[in-house]
Amino acid sequence: MKRITKILPLLTISIFTSCSSEVLPPQVEVQPTTPPVVNPPSTTGNETLLPPLYPFSDKSYFIKGESSVTSNVDISAFFQGNNTPNLGTIVNNGEKLNLIAMGGGLTAGVRNGGLYRVGQMTSFPNLVAWQMGMNNFQSPLFSASEANGTGYLALVDDGSSYPTWKEVKNNVTTVKAGTPPILTKYQGNSAQNYGLPENGGLTIAGRVVNTETLDLLGNRWSIGGVFASRILPDGIDDKSVSLREQILKQPINFYLLEDDSDMLISLIKNNGNALSSYGYERYTNGPKILEKTIELLYEKAKADKGVVFTWPIITDLAYFNWYTLEDLKTKAKSISINGNSTDMLFIPSQTVDILFRNLKKGDDVFTVLPTSTFLNTQILNNNTQFIKQYNERIKTLAKEKGLAIVDLEKIYHQIHLNQYVSADGFKIDGGTRGNFFSADGIYPTAIGQAVIANEVIKAINQTYNATIPQINLLAYSKLVGTE
């Protein structure tokens, strides 16, 4: 007897047939096409609440309960003593360092599918500022009473290689439903880290919150815009003043600019085919928003020194390695998915999880998956090609402007291959349960953020003849643990 496993969306059927020479023809079902959805907001009457930053849409399937967390991580004592590093040509003698950071979720400190106080404190801009002797760098931290911010995910260790999470929901920020929703205002000193989760930080920073221009999904507000409004000082009209306008009013002589990769990641993780409607045009246009931001920083603030970043290749993210074709091949006797067995990258979803968890050794996999649950070879190849082209433009821009560059494409690939070792001999693990990627499989852990901080420091030292010390990852890892 031969067991054939046929998985249809949200349905598993096991069929036993007699072994014979009969060949079952591929059965490919045409899946209905739907527009890409990026974390659709929940509704309260005519108003909306802030949607979660989780890396999947099937929340009720993947989340197995709640968790209460109180963190006592304090990194300030660890960084004391780095007060007088040689900053090379970044500042003139006696000049004060005025550093700002702009970007997306990576810059903000998004981790474990959320943004929260410890993630903000251990974000790479904050770590770089400490190492550069800037002990008063201001990140727009959530207050201690709302330390868990948007809420986040804790990966469940159930002995399986596949993910399930618990949801951290205690001590979260207050969200007032609206269009757009409103978060508790940041009440600290003028912020210097302007990382905005979701939808592209540099893009959103240049817009007012309620724009008359529809975005890709037909919305007049974005998740990133909600976080931008949170950072704007009291009394500033977020319907007429953009965050970027406010940023350019403060003294700046050095900057960290992470270009807008968050929207692309959001689209990929929710609907692979969305690449054709967004990504290729974005790559082809080149880093125009990044270039415009650099020009404005020079024109308005006379800042001409800083760091820019390339984008990682998506196949190097742990997010796409929870479920792999190689895993299927080690169990299945034969594989036919949507009529073929070519390479594909699976997106975490209930349908995919059912397929992998129910598969037994020696099964024949004969299934039709929704196109929103995987990226096929053509999409993968096109995506890689265009990201590489885009990165080359960023490298060219950095050279033209005399800026330092951190090649995240190269770094993430080394980490994916488990070939990255820090200067102090600390081994980095890029797996789904390793020490670089957090529980969401996309954004880094505290250790991962420190890796990026060290790469920023290396680029600064090389470009600006500075001697800023790197973070000792072995010692730092003992402080932050698995955070």
Q: 205, 102 in Cβ contact below 8 A?
A: yes
**For position 289, what pLDDT does the model report?**
83
**For position 323, what pLDDT does the model report?**
93
Dist. CA 126–CA 130, nearest whole Å: 6
Residue 72 neighbours by CB distance under 10 Å: 5
Q: Tell me the helix, strand and coil percentages in the chain, rounded to 5.
A: 35, 15, 50
Q: What is the edge-to-edge ordering of all strands in the sheet holding 165-168?
A: 63-67, 165-168, 152-155
Q: 272, 347 in Cβ contact below 8 A?
A: yes
Angle at 391 between CA 257 and CA 196, to 5 degrees: 30
Q: Which two tokens stand for residue 125?
A: 């801009």
H or E element that contains 2: strand 2-8
Contacts for 232-239 with beta carbons within 8 Å, 24 or more apart? 233/190, 234/185, 238/208, 238/209, 238/210, 239/208, 239/209, 239/210
Name residue 103's beta-bridge partners. 195
Q: Which two tokens stand for residue 186?
A: 């940041």
Q: 262, 230 in Cβ contact below 8 A?
A: no
Dist. CA 446–CA 111, nearest whole Å: 9
**For position 48, what pLDDT does the model report?**
55
**For position 245, what pLDDT does the model report?**
85
The pTM of the full predicted model, rounded to 2 decimals, is: 0.88
Q: Which two tokens stand for residue 261?
A: 């990769």
Q: Which two tokens stand for residue 44?
A: 């309260």
Angle at 164 between CA 161 and CA 166, to 5 degrees: 140
Q: 104, 195 in Cβ contact below 8 A?
A: yes
Dist. CA 119–CA 308, nearest whole Å: 21
For every residue of 254-320, DSSP letters joined together read: EEEE--S-HHHHHHHHH-GGGGGGTHHHHHHH-SHHHHHHHHHHHHHH----EEEE-PPPGGGSGGG
Residue with structure tokens 């007032």? 176
Residue 87 neighbours by CB distance under 10 Å: 22
Dist. CA 117–CA 115, nearest whole Å: 7
Q: 267, 281 in Cβ contact below 8 A?
A: no
Q: 120, 186 in Cβ contact below 8 A?
A: no
Angle (deg, nearest 10), helices 473-480 and 446-464: 150
Q: Hey, is 401 helix, strand or coil?
A: helix
Sign of the torsion angle spanned by Cα atoms 54, 55, 58, 62: negative
Q: 57, 9 in Cβ contact below 8 A?
A: no
**For position 243, what pLDDT does the model report?**
82
H or E element that contains 101: strand 99-103
Q: 85, 461 in Cβ contact below 8 A?
A: no
Mean pLDDT by 10 residues, the chain (483 residues): 49 36 31 36 52 82 92 83 85 91 94 95 96 93 94 91 93 87 90 84 66 50 83 76 85 91 64 50 68 92 95 90 90 86 82 93 90 80 84 94 97 97 96 95 96 98 97 94 85
Cis peptide, bond prior to residue 125, ω within 30 of zero: no
Q: 294, 393 in Cβ contact below 8 A?
A: no
